[in-house]
Amino acid sequence: MKKEEVRARILEIGIVPVVRASSSSGARFAAEAVRKGGIPIVEITMTVPGALGMISDLVRDMQDVLVGAGTVLDAEMARRCMDAGAQFLVSPGFDRETVELAARENIVIMAGALTPTEVITAWKAGSDFVKVFPCAQVGGASYIKALKGPLPQVPLVPTGGVNLDTAASFILAGAAALGVGGELIRKEAVHARQPEVIEDLARKFLSAVSNAREQMP
């Protein structure tokens, strides 16, 4: 899938499920569950055991799903993720070399930022989206709205504190998409192998995003 198509898919779906699991089997289970729930995107964090192998396996086995790499901290790690087949990269903070590498390789990257200066820096460096993290701790949806005032052109993806109660408010505040971790991929559901829990939550998050977008002018 081309970079423009990856970017468009993320914007269309509006949710990036963040998979943090204690095992590769748990990560695969979570990826399959969100897919069945209607979200064809998954971010496998580098904290998952065997993350690179998991990315390769998912890219091979789930060709209808965008498979990204999360918690990418530097350019070396980014290169390994791309070699494994990752279709987009996500970092918790801003690393210029990583963003520039992604730009050269024509792969979507979502660099992390928090302050207005960091958001502008990440955007100017070539980040396709800017992940605002940790968002809840600095005001949640109201903070996204405040950032969008002077920075309407920057696609912001709040992560941290996004749940079913706040998802709509983040979209209405101007978020391009939402990064959702434990509120979607519940640890207890992964541990007990209860896919229906995650599938149901996926559908509810999709509905929340869709309904909020319909309310926007």
Q: Which of 48, 2, 43 is nearest to 21 (CA)?
A: 48
Q: What is the pTM of this model?
A: 0.96
Report phi then psi at 83, rounded to 5. Answer: -65, -30
With respect to residue 135, please indicate whether it lies within any of the assigned structural domains: yes
With respect to residue 191, please indicate whether it lies within any of the assigned structural domains: yes
With respect to residue 133, please indicate whether it lies within any of the assigned structural domains: yes
**Catalytic hit among 3, 12, 43, 118:** 43
With respect to residue 181, please indicate whether it lies within any of the assigned structural domains: yes
Domain that holds residue 108: 3-209
CA distance 25 to 130: 30
pLDDT tens string 178-215: 999 999 999 999 999 999 999 999 999 999 999 999 99
3-state secondary structure of 15: strand
With respect to residue 26, please indicate whether it lies within any of the assigned structural domains: yes
pLDDT tens string 121-148: 999 999 999 999 999 999 999 999 999 9
With respect to residue 215, please indicate whether it lies within any of the assigned structural domains: no
**Catalytic hit among 131, 188, 196, 199:** 131
With respect to residue 176, please indicate whether it lies within any of the assigned structural domains: yes
CATH of the domain at 43: 3.20.20.70
CA distance 173 to 209: 12
Query: How many domains would you assign to the chain?
Result: 1
pLDDT tens string 39-76: 999 999 999 999 999 999 999 999 999 999 999 999 99
With respect to residue 92, please indicate whether it lies within any of the assigned structural domains: yes
131 counts as catalytic: yes
- Average pLDDT rounded to a whole number, residues 91-117: 97
> Is the predicted pLDDT of residue 88 greater than 90, yes or no?
yes
